[in-house]
Amino acid sequence: MIKSILIPTDGSTGSQTALDYGLYLASLFRAEITGLNVIDIRSLEGPFLSDISGSLGFTPFQNYFPKFQKILEDRGNVILDDFKNRCAEKSFHPKLKRMSGVIANVIADEAKRVDLVVIAQRGEHEQWSTGLLGSTTDSVVRKSPRPVLVTPSTFREIKSVLVAYDASIEANKALKTACEHFADKNIRFRVVFVTSDEEKSKKLTDEVNEFVSPYQVACEIKTLEGDAAKEILDYSEQTQTDLIVMGAFSHSRLRDLILGGTTAFIIRKASIPVLLER
């Protein structure tokens, strides 16, 4: 059961929506919330600025370092104060952490202490995005030892859940997570797999039915054909799904790590949150 939720925040519109989802889930599961703001240590090191300042005759960059660090720390405090106030509006009293380091690494390390990470699809540099998943979010998904909920730009309540299943270990965990967390919440429950093999479709259907039976949940099962990522997204739109639950990696794990794959495509393009199980 989800009893602790970590929500990284950078003050962006995306992280505000991530907080909306975090508060919603915290209320649903009676979970504790931790707000985390990370100062990117790479922005403090400034090797490039340090090199050119001397060559151009400017005041050494190191002289500005304490002031620059103070500005970032003050900004982080303002972001966390806003986070705290928004939580208070919903009667939550979060833990607050301001840390420094490589952002994705810090988040992944802090994830060890919670049950779920809720992070925005894109963060403070969204205006320069070309449609790719935010680099921090991408790294967190790959490194986090806990499930990660990737949230879109707008919030809506979760009334329908879709599990993408392919019989992998990660997909099996995703199905288990969906059953344990949402089966008793009066939420519509669907499972989908993409294959043109009738025998495989029947096998997967039997697996899913056997697994969900003890949870006594009404589960709709659908077999799709075609490109897995596009078919899953199209089906989620057709059925007005509010949350996709899936494994962070598929059978073609190497392809997912290097080229992107089904998981990366879905979390880049989805207009609804995607819960990723490792």
pLDDT at 111 exceeding the cut of 80? yes
pLDDT band at 258 (very low <50, low <70, confident <90, very high): very low
Is residue 131 over pLDDT 50? no
For residues 244 and 236, what is the distance between their CA atoms, to the nearest angstrom?
8
Token couple for 109:
């390390």
CATH code that applies to domain 160-277: 3.40.50.620
Mean pLDDT of 201-222: 95
Distance of alpha carbon 5 from alpha carbon 133, whole angstroms? 22
Q: What is the mean pLDDT of residues 131-157?
A: 86
Instruction: Give me the residue spans of the domains in the chain.
Output: 4-43+70-151, 160-277
The answer, yes or no, to whether residue 99 has pLDDT greater than 80, is yes
Q: Is the dihedral of CA 13, 14, 18, 20 positive or negative?
A: positive
Q: What is the pLDDT of residue 130?
A: 38
The two three-digit tokens of residue 33, written as one number: 């919330």
Q: Is the pLDDT of residue 52 over 70?
A: no
| pLDDT band for position 104 (cuts 50, 70, 90) | very high
Q: Which residue, 105, 119, 92, is CA-closest to 33?
A: 92
Q: How far apart are the first and last CA of the chain?
A: 16
| 219 pLDDT tier (thresholds 50, 70, 90) | very high
Greater confidence, 184 or 223? 223
Half-sphere exposure for 6 (CA within 13 Å, toward CB): 24
70 Cα distance to chain centroid = 29
Measured between alpha carbons, how far is 107 from 206 in angstroms, rounded to an integer? 38
Please say whether the beta carbons of 98 and 27 come within 8 A.
Answer: no
Q: What is the mean pLDDT of residues 165-182?
A: 93
Q: Which pLDDT does position 134 carry in this prediction?
A: 60
Determine the pLDDT at residue 252.
52
pLDDT for 128? 34
Q: Which residues contact 85 (CB under 8 A, 6 or more apart)?
A: none
Q: For residues 161 and 240, give the distance between their C-alpha atoms in angstroms, rounded to a whole number.
A: 9
**Can you give the pLDDT at residue 57?**
52
Confidence class for position 59, pLDDT limits 50, 70, 90: low
Does pLDDT of 250 surpass 90? Answer: no
Homologous superfamily of domain range 4-43+70-151? HUPs (3.40.50.620)
- On the question of a common fold for 4-43+70-151 and 160-277, the answer reads yes
The Cα-based distances of 256 to 72, 155, 161, 190, 221 in angstroms read 34, 27, 23, 24, 25
Cα 1 to Cα 23, 41, 62, 132, 157, distances in angstroms: 16, 34, 48, 32, 19
β-pair type (219-224, 160-164): unpaired
Give me the pLDDT at residue 46, please.
55
Position 261 pLDDT exceeds 50: yes
d(CA 267, CA 274): 6
